[in-house]
């Protein structure tokens, strides 16, 4: 059974940093593109970032470019999202998802990030 488990969410002050992790099991992690998608409370899905299977290629939504960094450790079957200079509008549930470069067929349950003073 494929499982993606996010961790690292929590409460952080504006301007602060947080690193999210996504631990994968039940699949050949190194074969898949990975994505981060966020969902503001009661709102829709917003794509955040993606990374290719070997970690050599990344892309970001304009709203997080220069502040967030996606990375992966295929030896540890783990995806990361380093979030810096956090703003109130970054408050959301963050999902990791895996699949191809254009769609994701496995999703985690999400981790809540709250940016507030």
Partner 1 sequence: QSALTQPPSASGSPGQSVTISCTGTSSDVGGYNYVSWYQQHPGKAPKLMIYDVNKRPSGVPDRFSGSKSGNTASLTVSGLQAEDEADYYCSSFTGSHNLVFGGGTKLTVL
* 20 versus 97: smaller Cβ distance to partner 1: 97
The whole-angstrom separation of Cα 86 and Cα 93 is 14
Map residue 88 onto helix, strand or coil: helix
- Asked if 105 interacts with partner 1 (CB under 8 A), we say yes
- Asked if 107 interacts with partner 1 (CB under 8 A), we say yes
Of 9, 91, 110, 112, the one binding partner 1 (CB under 8 A) is 110
- Asked if 40 interacts with partner 1 (CB under 8 A), we say no
64 backbone dihedrals φ, ψ, rounded to 5°: -120, -5
The whole-angstrom separation of Cα 7 and Cα 5 is 7
Positions that interact with partner 1 (CB under 8 A): 35, 37, 44-47, 50, 59-62, 95, 97, 99-105, 107-110
């Amino acid at each position: 059974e494929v499982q993606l488990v996010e961790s690292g969410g929590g409460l952080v002050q504006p301007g602060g940093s947080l690193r999210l992790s996504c631990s994968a099991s039940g699949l050949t992690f190194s074969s898949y593109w990975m994505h981060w998608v966020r969902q503001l409370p009661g709102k829709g899905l917003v794509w955040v970032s993606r990374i290719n299977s070997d970690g050599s290629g990344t892309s970001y939504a304009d709203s997080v470019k220069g502040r967030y960094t996606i990375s992966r450790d295929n030896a540890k079957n783990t995806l990361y999202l380093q979030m810096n200079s956090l703003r109130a509008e970054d408050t959301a549930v963050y999902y990791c998802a895996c699949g191809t470069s254009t769609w994701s067929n496995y999703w985690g349950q999400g981790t809540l990030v709250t940016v507030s003073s």
